[in-house]
Structure 1
Amino acid sequence: SKTNQVTSRERMLEKLEIIQIDDVDTSALKLRFPPTQRSGDYPVTVKDVSKSYGDHAVFKDANMSIARGEKVCFVGRNGEGKSTMIKAILGEIDVEGTCSLGHN
């Protein structure tokens, strides 16, 4: 019955150890990155890139240049190729066309 379930839960909760958490996080994350080479004017270029899975063309003849310092956001519905484009730029998947990612 519900009453038995409730009392069983109450007993189980009483047995749990209560952990106290500080209100203020005093730990500091300190990251140090080594100096890098200055990137070229266009560190990411995509030329005539196409990708399809069977008969489904995710994108066809896509062209894009991302300039140094530019911020980019891929926006779209599910299945429209956002992750596929990123994987293509990183060279994780094979595509038709040219994706170049580099410094100069």
Structure 2
Amino acid sequence: MLRELYPAIDTYRSGWLRVSDLHEIYWEESGNPTGKPVVFLHGGPGGGTDARMRRFFDPARYRIVLFDQRGCGKSRPYASLVDNTTWHLVSD
């Protein structure tokens, strides 16, 4: 059974979270700022989030948090393998 996606929405806040001397993780929030939080983890390795992923959740009900893992998407530095192991990702 196919399900329709919710309408496209913009973020209302975004930034980078420093997780090491080298890495900063990109994050963004959209939807209802006072809604139930939902955190979306993209696939990998090497993937990243994009605006279409916000459409999986009802923006009236949820505070939608997307982030890009180390070395992925808008996180910095892009595609770096230094200090980027499974345990680093779990720690983040």
Report the TM range for the smaller structure's normalisation: under 0.3
Higher strand share: 2
Higher helix share: 1
Larger Rg: 1
- After TM superposition, the score normalised by the length of structure 2 is 0.27
- After TM superposition, the score normalised by the length of structure 1 is 0.25
